[in-house]
Amino acid sequence: MAETRTVVRSAEYFETALTLISRNVSKVHRYLLNATDLLTERDLGTILRIMGCSATTLPTVCEDNCWSNRYRTITSNCNNRRNPRLGAANNAFARWLPAEYEDGFSLPKGWTRKRLYSGFRLPPVRQVSNQILQVANQIVPLDQDHAHIFVQWGQWLDHDMDLAPQSGSIQTFTNGINCDETCARRSPCFPIRIPSNDARFKNSTGCMPFFRSAPVCDTGELGSLFGHINIREQLNAVTAFIDSSMVYGNGKSIANRIRNYTNDLGLLAINQNYSDNRLEHLPFSSNNSGSPCIMNSNGTGVPCFLSGDGRVNEHLGILSFHVLFLREHNRLARELKKLNPHWSGETIYQEARKIMGAFHQIITYRDYVPRLIGSEAMQKYLPPYRGYNESIDPRIANVFATACFRSGHVTIQPIVHRFNESYQEHPLYPNILLHNSFFSPWRIVDQGGIEPILRGLLANPAKRQTQNRMIVDELRQRLFELTSPLPLDLASLNLQRSRDHGLPGYNAWKRFCGLSEPKNVRQLTAALRNASLARNLFELYGTADNIEPWLAGVSEPAVNGGKLGPLFACLAGQQFKNLRDGDRFWWENKRVFTVSQQQALQQVSLSRVICDNTRIEELPQDAFRFRPYPAGYIRCTQIPQVDLSAWKENVEVILCASAPVVDHAHFSICKSSVRYTCEPGFKLVGGDTITCLSNGQWNITPPICTDAAV
């Protein structure tokens, strides 16, 4: 996203400038601590402005009219009118506990290998991965209650809520060393050392590349300018809210790129080269330089697909969801146009986007979260909705994005199943190992579209998390193998990211949640109900205080009726509460939808979305519940639909009767006002909005639309 690249670049330019100033001047002034001590406030302001960081400190001006209160902004600025940046894209993650950095403000824990924490060294993350987390692809335990589409929804939802972009540079800032080619720890490189006895990388003394997450412009080395005592914070590049931003984008640049502006129908752009047997595909990205998308088996290139989120091409499961919900938006848009032919394309787009956001909120909170956190956490954190609360901070917590919601990684199957209409392995497009699905959009284009993949997600169980079989080799040994110079290890990346972000350890979070803190092997054994695992963790870490929250969280046995352990059930419950109650556009807020619209929205289901946008005719009514075919499968005709008739706009305006019709114009009504836009090829003359007054008269004459060429 262009806006994110600009923010990241500005922050890193500024941080590098201050580091260089500090380093050079301190050769003479050894007693000075950092660049901010050496410069006047005016000097700092000048550097801030030149590097582009000053934009993040400018006040946000929020529109306040009927239409701005009807639709979210694409960036989610102004969701909270008192604090307009809360939950908006390209702002800092929330901190529920103070960060813990090696130097107190910026360097990751483990940056200096001999440094002690609570009296012990931190173990190398790849060593932890090898000793604690591995499971071969062939011995995967299965979850007999949840289909793999439950796991896929978790990733889809995650991409709606958080993205911590990596550094904008692939080289060290001060001497230009490529991070892919060094074991040196020089920002932004924080490489993962490979143990000499590593079976995957035999006799290797090298490193797995790792790039630090980009800082927020006013933190870390930059922070003293703003009174933050130099604590480095990470950037959330996407909107925090559940608003379908992975479909629509998080900034104006990408949102406009994926719109179809060839007509005024409010549609999203589709692929002009390929279709899925007349069903729509995503458009291709026009930027193919350095594309990670691999060529097909014939050696011909299929470019990366383009959508609202840059992770669209990561693997076939997430890509199939992007295609599915592109089609759902366009289906909604066409139906809304039939109901309201007087609507402009912009109104149709915004209404369809608003409905899509509600769909995602309902499916998530009704069908997904209760299964994730269990009934006890649901009662504690998510009792019945009582309305919007502007005092609640809806931002995604750093610990949620970096640890808690990465728990889904231990429930991923190593195989991408592709099924035919009878839910058997497809004879033309057989099952493939997961690593062969990474950045492979050609498999969507050339191998049967998204239907075989969706059937595989519906009719196969998720991986069951067990303490001796954590994360499959497809993710731990072969991540991005086809596109990376060195295969990556997702478990090691997760552990290193915790250190990069300065997350406190296991016991700090247990204390945060009011849970007992294990101080010795016996107490950790009780918490994990596993003596062997507890001993292994203490041998590696020396103390439970040092265990990364992601590792400790996925090691805990699940709560009753949930998929997470007590720690993660607490963190997830708090996060989903904040997202619901701190969202001004939450679907149950009485100012967002009418009562009849709310009633209609409750008919939504993921199974119905699949029915409406594919040729799949038979599937489980409850998509997340695993049942082997054909048990529990029903026809699409038996699955309720959302009745969109509740969105038919009444063109009668109180006291003033019908809204005046203007030739070559569209209009929409908001309370007692009517807003006009001209059809393509015409320009508006006069005010675009008229308002019905209490005397039954319009406040001004309606505008006219004249030929733009005249």
235-290 pLDDT per residue, tens:
999 999 999 999 999 999 999 999 999 999 999 999 999 999 899 999 999 766 56
Quick one: CA dihedral 379, 382, 387, 389, positive or negative? Answer: positive
Give ∠ CA 465-468-471 in degrees, rounded to 5: 55
pLDDT value at residue 265: 95
pLDDT value at residue 48: 57
Q: Are 379 and 561 in contact (CB under 8 A)?
A: no
614-668 pLDDT, tens digit per residue, is 999 999 999 999 999 998 899 999 999 999 999 999 988 778 888 999 999 999 9
pLDDT value at residue 302: 84
Q: In the 8-state DSSP scheme, what is residue 405?
A: G
One-letter amino acid at 180 equals D
> Is 287 exposed, middle or buried, given 0-12, 13-18 or 19+ CB atoms closer than 10 A?
exposed
Give the model's confidence band at 40: pLDDT under 50 very low, under 70 low, under 90 confident, else very high. Answer: low
Question: How distant, in Å, are the alpha carbons of 2, 167, 246, 692 from that of 53?
Answer: 15, 16, 26, 45
> Is 94 exposed, middle or buried, given 0-12, 13-18 or 19+ CB atoms closer than 10 A?
buried
439-476 pLDDT, tens digit per residue, is 999 999 999 999 999 999 999 999 999 999 999 999 99
Reply yes or no on whether 159 is catalytic.
yes
Look at residue 43 and tell me whether its pLDDT is greater than 70. no
Which is more confidently placed, 398 or 13? Answer: 398
Burial letters for 491-509: b for 16+ Cβ neighbours within 10 Å, e otherwise?
A: bbbbbbbbbbbbbbbbbbb
Q: Which residue in the list 148, 159, 315, 360 is annotated as catalytic?
A: 159
What span, in angstroms and rounded, lies between the C-alpha atoms of 369 and 358?
Answer: 15
The backbone torsions φ and ψ at residue 573, rounded to the nearest 5 degrees and listed phi first, read -60, -45
Give the model's confidence band at 223: pLDDT under 50 very low, under 70 low, under 90 confident, else very high. Answer: very low
Give the model's confidence band at 222: pLDDT under 50 very low, under 70 low, under 90 confident, else very high. Answer: very low
pLDDT value at residue 577: 98
Give the model's confidence band at 136: pLDDT under 50 very low, under 70 low, under 90 confident, else very high. Answer: confident
Looking up tokens 């590792």 gives 551
Q: 212 by DSSP, 3-state: which?
A: coil
pLDDT value at residue 28: 44
What span, in angstroms and rounded, lies between the C-alpha atoms of 654 and 658?
Answer: 9
pLDDT value at residue 113: 84
* Number of neighbours of residue 227 by Cβ within 10 angstroms: 8
Look at residue 17 and tell me whether its pLDDT is greater than 70. no
Give the model's confidence band at 224: pLDDT under 50 very low, under 70 low, under 90 confident, else very high. Answer: very low
pTM, entire model: 0.92
- Percent over 90 (pLDDT), the chain: 73
Q: Are 130 and 195 in contact (CB under 8 A)?
A: yes
pLDDT value at residue 225: 43
Mean pLDDT of 479-491: 84
681-708 pLDDT, tens digit per residue, is 999 999 999 999 999 999 999 999 999 8
pLDDT value at residue 68: 86
Mean pLDDT of 302-327: 96
Structural domains present in the chain: 93-99+107-165+247-505+548-649 (1.10.640.10), 167-212 (no CATH), 650-707 (2.10.70.10)
pLDDT value at residue 49: 59
Strand partners, 192: 208
Look at residue 20 and tell me whether its pLDDT is greater than 60. no
What span, in angstroms and rounded, lies between the C-alpha atoms of 327 and 581?
Answer: 30
Which is more confidently placed, 600 or 232? Answer: 600
> Is 647 exposed, middle or buried, given 0-12, 13-18 or 19+ CB atoms closer than 10 A?
buried
Q: Are 44 and 37 in contact (CB under 8 A)?
A: no
Close Cβ partners of 379 (under 8 Å, ≥ 6 residues apart) = none
Look at residue 45 and tell me whether its pLDDT is greater than 70. no
Look at residue 341 and tell me whether its pLDDT is greater than 80. yes
Side-chain half-sphere exposure of 386, counting CA atoms within 13 A: 7
104-135 pLDDT, tens digit per residue, is 888 999 999 889 999 999 999 999 999 999 87
Of 20-34, 116-130, 342-356, the poorest mean pLDDT is in 20-34
Mean pLDDT of the chain: 89
pLDDT value at residue 67: 85
pLDDT value at residue 230: 66
pLDDT value at residue 243: 97
Token representation of residue 218: 């006013």
Look at residue 12 and tell me whether its pLDDT is greater than 80. no
